[in-house]
Structure 1
Amino acid sequence: MLVSKKEIEIRYAETDQMGVVYHANYLIWMELGRTKLIQDLGFSYAGMEEEGIISPVIDLEISYKKPLRYGDTAIIHTWIEQYNGMKSVYGYEIFTPSGDLAVQAKSSHVCVQKDTFRPVKFRKLFPEWHEAYEKAKK
């Protein structure tokens, strides 16, 4: 199983009035984690979009364990939890600088045509990418 790692230096604008990272910012960091994972596999999400295919989130689970604060560095671990050629489920763990688990999450995605939102068979459109996901998944 491939686990991609991405560090994020937390900016002041990402915190709330309590001085901790605002909960929705974790979703952005998860996107950065997915993008890094895809790059680590040798592919480009932007390249897929240029071909008229997008991959919207269809389900999301997130559990907040410990706060992260301005000035901390968040460490995002991302992997392919499940993949069946149509749907991808990504797993995430976001850690504090001291190595404590701050967030645990999963997001589910399907690939669709950008103009119609009709689902597509990822394994047929992108066979090399499909093979890399098969090898990298949990």
Structure 2
Amino acid sequence: MLVSTKEIDVRYAETDQMGVVYHANYLVWMEVGRTNLIKDMGFNYAEVEEDGIISPVLDVQVSYKKPFRYGETATVQTWIEVYDGIKITYRYHILNADGDVCVTGESKHVCVKKDSFRPISIKRKYPDWHEAYEKAKKQPIES
């Protein structure tokens, strides 16, 4: 299983009146992690969009354990939890400088044609991506 890591410096503009990172900003950090994972696998998501394919979010879950504050550094860990050739589930852990998991999350995506929103088979349209996702995804535990 490939786990991508990306450091993010918490900016003042990302905090709320309580002085902690506003909850929706973690979704942006998850996107940064997801894009970084794709890059780590040797691909460029922007090239897929140029080909008329987009990857909308079907579902997102976030659990907040500890807050981040301005000036801290967050490390976003991202991996592929589930991949079936059409849908992809990414998992995220966002850690503080002490290595504590402060936020966990998951986002589910599907690749679709931009003009019709009809799902595509990644396996058929992008066999190199399919192979990379198969290799990178979390493997089931053998009993």
TM-score normalised by structure 2 residue count: 0.95
- Percent of pairs with identical residues: 65
Query: Aligned Cα RMSD in Å?
Result: 0.5
* SS of match in other structure, 2:134: helix
Measure, in 1, the Cα distance between the counterparts of 2:54 and 2:118: 10
TM-score normalised by structure 1 residue count: 0.99
Amino acid at match of 2:13: A
Residue in 2 aligned with 1:125? 125
Measure, in 1, the Cα distance between the counterparts of 2:64 and 2:45: 27
Measure, in 2, the Cα distance between the counterparts of 1:103 and 1:30: 10
Residue in 2 aligned with 1:83? 83
Deviation at 1:116, TM superposition (A): 1.0
Measure, in 2, the Cα distance between the counterparts of 1:52 and 1:70: 38
Deviation at 1:103, TM superposition (A): 0.4
Residue in 1 aligned with 2:25? 25
Measure, in 2, the Cα distance between the counterparts of 1:66 and 1:81: 23
* SS of match in other structure, 1:67: coil
Deviation at 1:117, TM superposition (A): 0.7
Aligned residues: 138
Residue in 1 aligned with 2:34? 34
Q: For residues 38-49 of structure 1, what are the structure 2 equivalents within 5 Å?
A: 38-49=38-49
Residue in 2 aligned with 1:95? 95
* SS of match in other structure, 1:107: strand
Measure, in 2, the Cα distance between the counterparts of 1:130 and 1:81: 14
Q: Deviations over 1:66-114 (max 9, x none)?
A: 0000000000000000000000000000011111111000000000001
Ranges in structure 1 where 5+ consecutive residues have no aligned partner: none
Measure, in 2, the Cα distance between the counterparts of 1:16 and 1:123: 42
Amino acid at match of 1:49: E
Residue in 2 aligned with 1:71? 71
Ranges in structure 2 where 5+ consecutive residues have no aligned partner: 139-143
Residue in 1 aligned with 2:141? none
Residue in 2 aligned with 1:137? 137
Amino acid at match of 2:130: H
Displacement over 4 Å in runs of 4+ = none
Q: Deviations over 1:18-69 (max 9, x none)?
A: 0000000000000000000000000010010000000000011110000000
